[in-house]
Structure 1
């Protein structure tokens, strides 16, 4: 195990795995996807020693990358299958797209910040990841012209149930998104499309930034 990781990174990855296993079974494919994706390469050098921690870490444009444990829990709950088309709302550093690309047929990821979109694109190219498409765009309404998607994940909170995403999902598709107020905790909801409605399962509490509309004017 951990053969793909630098020696000084293996201890952090091992601790990360122990935390995950302490919470229940972790799919082998998911562990392999995390192990194959060098997390340090998506973070500034000063955060390399805590790359595998469960704390939010700052990235460019005043944004942050979620803790490794939360990312793993969300991706596990998506139950991505080979052949799936995934939409990610909020590219951030690009790390979660890179992990999901190893599980899905294609990932389309969107971010309102041009800087983040460009940096993520460069990281994917450097890693030889060819099945992720990066869009510098307003993803607050999903990407209605590019669906349907089998899985949709949002890393920013909606103030109410994002029913408009139902039309962008294939039958049996899954959305995972935080729902709740800007301030305080939000509920992380797993929404499965059944016919013309959602079945909802709440899978945890989070504190994430609210979804912002439009694209950033400068950065």
Structure 2
């Protein structure tokens, strides 16, 4: 039994990226990797989500209206196809404005990605809702909480990790940039989230001590899905991650681990920061 990590942080040593062969994304999927069963929810694109949400601006936000602005945000997200109700409720509970710079608070609940320092951004609310819903739909039978552990690669400012903490029994989130790891720790400390563990280390290597994971979600995109992630994924689990194709495009990839092997589906084009190995 893995000893529970003490919140809000565990410092990990730098871990080299796994050398064994990754799961690559080609223009055409290989016969060994079958596509997942199509569904309306999984086929809907992030670009479609963004345009629908952006058409309903929030406007400036004062300190007294932040809660009202958050309610408007979740109401906009709730009407989009495929967004899981549990994700909507989790995003209602997490104050997004506390994870960004004070100068940008007025934009906290708009459909924008915002800078968080170190060349990184906090994802648009619609993108967060889209990716987390892709995970939640796998566990629809479980109700509002996934009965297992989630791994997030790329903690950033900590917002998505906070949302995930409302969706699963336990969440591990790993960040390779020390400054962002420390910022996320400071952002999350006031929330006292007992089931969320922040790790400083190489996300490409995952965190084997916390596995197997019911799902793995990445906030950065590489040329391939690291083998370590599929190794640490539980049977029946799902990976949601941006990945580059042979043609140079970055697309959202969903991988399901089944008794018959890995089933993969390439979804819409996306734009995330590069997935890197090592720590800074």
User: Which of the five TM-score ranges fits, normalised by the shorter chain?
Assistant: 0.7 to 0.9
Q: SS of the residue aligned with 2:90?
A: helix
Q: Deviations over 1:91-148 (max 9, x none)?
A: 0000000001011111110101112112212222211211111111011122234311
Give the superposed CA RMSD.
2.2
Structure 1 match to 2:243? 179
2:124 is aligned with 1:60: no
CA 161–135 in structure 1, closer or farther in 2 if over 3 Å, else same: closer
TM-score by length of 2: 0.69
Structure 1 match to 2:153? 89
2:126 is aligned with 1:69: yes
2:206 is aligned with 1:149: no
TM-score by length of 1: 0.87
Structure with larger RCO (C-alpha < 8 A, sep 6+): 2
Question: Offset at 1:42?
Answer: 0.2
Identify which of 83, 86, 89 aligns with 1:26: 83
Identify which of 185, 204, 207 aligns with 1:140: 204
Question: Offset at 1:86?
Answer: 0.5
Q: How far, CA to CA, are the matches of 2:74 and 2:266 in structure 1?
A: 24
Where do 1:1-219 residues align within 5 Å? 7-79=64-136, 81-180=145-244, 185-195=249-259, 197-216=261-280
CA 161–57 in structure 1, closer or farther in 2 if over 3 Å, else same: same
Structure number with greater Rg is: 2
Q: Which runs of 5+ in 1 are unaligned?
A: 1-5
Q: Deviations over 1:63-90 (max 9, x none)?
A: 1111111011111111164322000000
> For the Cα contact (< 8 Å) 1:88–1:152, is it kept in 2?
yes
Question: Offset at 1:202?
Answer: 2.8
Tell me which stretches of 4 or more aligned residues in structure 1 moved more than 4 Å: none
CA 32–21 in structure 1, closer or farther in 2 if over 3 Å, else same: closer
